[in-house]
């Protein structure tokens, strides 16, 4: 890795840790610079201002989340051609990953940005909105394959069901941090898995 990229990544690491701990408003450029051990001009070489830093941090978070979700649901599809079973496997794998994290839940930057949206410019706020909509589109695509093969037991709007998946994941992150209960998010994911199974599987109640 080039030195410039390594410095940029370190700035993002320091900022993300601070933002998730105390919020973006309470995270100053000066403290990030001090911890990184660089000059202000060195910081400005990578990020022209705090909004540029916020945008880069959010883009990295989005890429990391996309990679994780791509992996778990791709693994589910590799194990079975049935879209429902593949989705259920993906949820279980995600629950296992969350349970095996070596440290406390990292938290959700999207939620943090929502709570402090007045601090950001229009571009950052729009990026945050697009991330949430991309989650809806991702899960809607997977759910559409299930709807094509299975008749749900109840009339559930696919977009609402896709949003429910995101709500459980992001809400579980928030509740897990608030309560300090590491098993909360994995348990909620498994409850969601049971709900999806009951909603679509013809013999799920047996």
pLDDT score of 205 more than 90:
no
Tens of pLDDT, residue by residue over 135-179, are 999 999 999 999 999 999 999 999 999 999 999 999 998 888 888
pLDDT of residue 131: 95
Its pTM stands at 0.89
Tens of pLDDT, residue by residue over 191-203, are 999 999 999 998 7
Q: Do residues 70 and 134 touch, judged by C-beta distance below 8 A?
A: no
pLDDT of residue 102: 61
Q: Do residues 80 and 92 touch, judged by C-beta distance below 8 A?
A: no
Distance (Å, whole) CA 166 – CA 142: 13
Tens of pLDDT, residue by residue over 76-120, are 999 999 999 999 999 999 999 998 876 655 678 888 898 899 999
Distance (Å, whole) CA 82 – CA 93: 16
Distance (Å, whole) CA 143 – CA 162: 7
Chain centre distance of CA 162: 14
Residue with tokens 């700035």: 11
Tens of pLDDT, residue by residue over 18-51, are 998 888 999 999 999 999 999 999 999 999 999 9
pLDDT of residue 106: 62
Domains of the chain with CATH codes? 1-47 (1.10.10.60), 50-200 (1.10.357.10)
CA 191 vs CA 5, 57, 138, 185: distances in Å: 41, 31, 20, 10
Distance (Å, whole) CA 155 – CA 165: 17
Distance (Å, whole) CA 1 – CA 199: 47
């Amino acid at each position: 890795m080039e030195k410039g990229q390594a410095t940029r990544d370190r700035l993002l690491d320091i900022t993300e840790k601070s933002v998730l701990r105390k919020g973006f408003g309470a995270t100053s450029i000066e403290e990030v610079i001090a911890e990184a051990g660089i000059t202000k001009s060195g910081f400005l070489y990578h990020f022209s201002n705090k909004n540029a830093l916020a945008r880069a941090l959010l883009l990295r978070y989005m890429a990391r989340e996309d990679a994780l979700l791509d992996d778990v649901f791709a693994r589910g599809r590799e194990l079975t051609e049935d879209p429902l079973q593949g989705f259920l496997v993906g949820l279980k794998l995600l629950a296992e990953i969350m349970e095996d994290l070596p440290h406390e839940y990292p938290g959700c930057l999207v939620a943090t940005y929502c709570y402090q949206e007045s601090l950001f410019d229009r571009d950052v706020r729009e990026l945050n909105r697009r991330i949430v909509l991309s989650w809806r589109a991702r899960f809607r695509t997977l759910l559409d394959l299930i709807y094509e093969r299975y008749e749900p037991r109840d009339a559930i709007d696919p977009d609402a069901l896709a949003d429910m998946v995101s709500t459980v994941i992001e809400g579980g992150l928030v509740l897990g941090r608030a309560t300090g209960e590491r098993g909360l998010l994995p348990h909620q994911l498994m409850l969601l898995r049971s709900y999806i199974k009951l909603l679509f599987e013809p013999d799920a109640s047996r």
